[in-house]
Amino acid sequence: MLRVNLTGVFLCCQVAARQMVKQGGGRIITTASINGFRGVENLVGYNVAKAGVIEMTKTMAVELAQHHITVNAIAPAQIDTRLTRSLPEDARRRRTERIPMGRFGEPEDVARAALFLASDDASYVTGHTLAVDGGYLAGGLWSRKPEGTGRG
């Protein structure tokens, strides 16, 4: 798990950074996960790897800024993919209940985040992890409740 999800990312970033230093700058965007921010049982290897990617992104951002290279990460939550569509309906429902926006994200949501971080609009953004999560991290263990059951 660590070899692919952390060491592999590190090695790819090293190769990209060397080329970007030669060319005078660039953008490195790593892929983390919301699991890098919070523990999820039975996924210790994955969670540790993604937390490592988040911290590696920060460190590389500091080290490479002098070369006009920005380094940021994207941390998706539940994204509607072939893998997540194969989950049992009950598991999908439980996961959706924890997302304040009430739905899984689309692959295009992640792609648009990457496009932003790669663009000139993000030229002063470095060392950050952009959660593409429908509010999942902000909501904690928030659960959608039927209308009329909450206060406020």
* Active-site annotation, residues: 46
Q: Is 54 within 8 Å of 7 (Cβ atoms)? A: no
Q: Is the dihedral of CA 83, 52, 22, 15 positive or negative?
A: negative
Burial of residue 134 (CB within 10 Å: 0-12, 13-18, 19+) is buried
Alpha carbons 25 and 19: distance in angstroms, whole number? 9
SS3 assignment, position 44: helix
Q: Is 117 within 8 Å of 125 (Cβ atoms)? A: yes
Residue 61 structure tokens: 């951002």
Alpha carbons 77 and 62: distance in angstroms, whole number? 26
Q: Is 74 within 8 Å of 132 (Cβ atoms)? A: yes
